[in-house]
Structure 1
Amino acid sequence: MQWQTDVDLTHRNSFGFPAVAERFVEIDQLEQLELALAEVEQHQWPLLILGGGSNLVFRENLPGAVISIATRGSHVLVDDENTAIIEVGAGENWHGFISQLLEKGLHGLENLALIPGNVGAAPVQNIGAYGVEMADCFHSLTAYDRETKALVQLSKDECLFGYRDSIFKSSQQGRYIIWCVRFVLSTVFSPKTQYRGIADYLAAQGIVEPTAYQVYQAVCDIRMSKLPLPSELGNAGSFFENPIVSEAVYSALKGQFPDLVAYPDRPGHFKLAAGWLIDKAGWKGRRVGPVGVYDKQALVLVNYGEGRASDLLQLAGEITHSVKQRFGVELRMEPRLYPA
């Protein structure tokens, strides 16, 4: 295990912001991780565990240590007539993993195709799209517990998944380092097409009973029509969470804005489409210096080149203020700012 110093991480964050790590190491063995963490604790360095860098806003200087988890590979643990449990390394690319599942005839996560990042980050954020959340198919995971200094198994219940939330993001942030993840999947395909965009796409193709590949392709095509590839235009996908409001707040807004886009959430609450709020506040397609709001999807903030975290944070603050002024709704940033 050997630290690299002053490592350029510009190409390890999907915004493409310039960032230099004081120390960096990529790890795929438990012994390496234990050695690295021992040094981190001995010197009390700030620590960032880095996956695909797709949900991060990097400032220019990253103090302390950055550890990239590179555990890869996947294998089926249990395979019966209707279901299978598959284990996958945290360092595997998420979209590549979804494509592998399609080839294996394992279903349930195809609606989450083309989400950038690595598998290990998926439970942290409980990623979701087009009517499906990762938690819907989650079985369990193995993580290194920095308190007990041992690998532990965490069940779905123990992870406390919520909307774009988990113990890894909230109550136990920094304690666990995800090593591998297990999913329970179906060998029998049952399409999830309740999301209007997918239903409209399939209807336009004349597809009544879609195959798993057709749903997967629909998701990929829809995402590509709305979201720029980070390799072409720096971004982290959805920049703001969809705010959840009470039914009373929703009803008041609906009365004032009849075309408000919202979806029922937990009982007595509605999830508002943040992209609609931003669009109606006049931000869609607007550029402020080297950063801006994507012209095809107002929920996506982009780096046109030469942008930095400070530019993006200023833009995000102006958008948040504008939406609050017009709709009385507070937007929350979805990616993590580092250092905070």
Structure 2
Amino acid sequence: MELLRNHSLRPYNTLNVDATARYFARIRHVDQIGQALAAAPEAERILVLGGGSNVVFRSDFSGLVLKNEIRGIRIVRSDDAHVWIESRGGEEWQDLVDFSLEHDLGGLENLTRIPGSVGAAPVQNIGAYGVEIKDLLESVEAVDIRSGQVRTFSNSECRFGYRDSIFKHELKGLFFVTGIVIRLARQPEYHIEYGDIRKKLEEYGDQPLSPRLLERAISEIRAVKLPDPRELGNCGSFFKNCIVTPDDFERLRTSYPALPFFREHTGQIKIPSAWLIEQCGWKGWRSGDAAVYPQHALILVNYGAADGEQIYDLSERIIASVRDTFGLVLEREAQII
């Protein structure tokens, strides 16, 4: 384990903003967590970094960054109906999706092309097109950063919510996710009711629906709507969608009859934040190199030289605008550092 000092974080965040970590260590084995802490005893703040696809560095980081690079994906159990896969936290999320497809297993296809690491997935409870990781996850293995003890969290112990988990609240910053176990079906239940999925599948003619075909459809949809962070700095959906009560929804729909929505199983109503932002005139807005993506108002982008503070300021202006117009308060998906 090598401890780096004053190390640039630009290569490690998909928003491509420049920032420096006072201390930086690549963690490829659990034992290296303790080694890094011992090598930087004066570091008061610790940040576990995965793929860097959900962070905004407003300034330099004065503490220790632990870059999760623990690798490995394997099948650990199977029966006639399901297969259990263990993935280490430093794997790219897409590599886990591809592994499942190579074994003709269903469940992850709706979550394809989500940038980031496996270790960050349960922290954020990543989701797309009607599926969240909580629907598939059996357990999370994590290391208590300070004590070094390994703990296994069951699905229920993770306290998953919409883009939320216990790791963003009571246990925020306290654990390093070393791996997860997911359960996938040999005969999957497909989720094709969201967005343009059905329309895209119709373009393929009479091809039988399969995990690979659905993954292809969603990949093509995402390619049109979302910028590739390798080509244009971004951290995916910057804001969560708004969840409101039925009464609040009816109040809004009186003023905005075209208001789009999805009804949650809880009875609450989900309103696409992209629509709210677009109605406020932000879609395609740009100041310097900080901008709102012209093809999707939920994406904030860096055209090259924007810093984290400029991106953060833009998000603050959007939040204020939506609040003043609709009376709704947007929540960021992106983690502000």
Give the alignment's TM-score, normalised by structure 2. 0.97
Distance in 2 of aligned mates of 1:194 and 1:282: 28
Residue 35 of structure 2: SS of its match in structure 1?
helix
Match of 1:241 in 2: 240
Structural mapping, 1:1-340, within 5 Å: 1-40=1-40, 42-146=41-145, 148-207=147-206, 209-338=208-337
Alpha-carbon RMSD: 1.4
Q: CA deviation at 1:158?
A: 0.6
Amino acid at match of 1:3: L
Same amino acid, percent of matched pairs = 38
Distance in 2 of aligned mates of 1:118 and 1:102: 18
Amino acid at match of 1:283: W
Residue 115 of structure 2: SS of its match in structure 1?
coil
Q: CA deviation at 1:147?
A: 5.5
CA shift digits 1:16-65 (9 cap, x unpaired): 0001111111011122112223445x425211111000000012311121
Distance in 2 of aligned mates of 1:333 and 1:215: 29
Residue 270 of structure 2: SS of its match in structure 1?
strand
Contact kept in structure 1, 2:105 and 2:211, CA below 8 Å: no
Contact kept in structure 2, 1:6 and 1:23, CA below 8 Å: yes
Distance in 2 of aligned mates of 1:336 and 1:178: 17
CA shift digits 1:228-268 (9 cap, x unpaired): 00011100110001011111110111121111111112534
Contact kept in structure 2, 1:17 and 1:60, CA below 8 Å: no
Residue 192 of structure 2: SS of its match in structure 1?
coil
Q: Which consecutive residues of structure 2, in runs of 5 or more, have no partner in the other structure?
A: none
Closer/same/farther in 2, CA of residues 147 and 66 from structure 1, 3 Å limit: closer
Q: CA deviation at 1:196?
A: 3.2
Distance in 1 of aligned mates of 2:29 and 2:324: 50
CA shift digits 1:150-203 (9 cap, x unpaired): 111110011111100001111211121100111001111332111131112112
Residue 251 of structure 1: SS of its match in structure 2?
helix
Residue 85 of structure 2: SS of its match in structure 1?
strand
Amino acid at match of 1:151: V
CA shift digits 1:103-159 (9 cap, x unpaired): 111211110000000000000000000010011100102110235431111100111
Contact kept in structure 2, 1:86 and 1:182, CA below 8 Å: yes
Amino acid at match of 1:162: G
CA shift digits 1:48-87 (9 cap, x unpaired): 1110000000123111211111111111111111101110
Contact kept in structure 2, 1:142 and 1:180, CA below 8 Å: yes
Amino acid at match of 2:137: F
Distance in 2 of aligned mates of 1:302 and 1:62: 21
Distance in 1 of aligned mates of 2:97 and 2:116: 12
Aligned residues: 337
Q: Which consecutive residues of structure 1, in runs of 5 or more, have no partner in the other structure?
A: none
Amino acid at match of 1:254: R
Distance in 1 of aligned mates of 2:68 and 2:293: 31
Deviates more, 1:205-214 or 1:130-139: 205-214
Amino acid at match of 1:104: H
Residue 183 of structure 1: SS of its match in structure 2?
strand
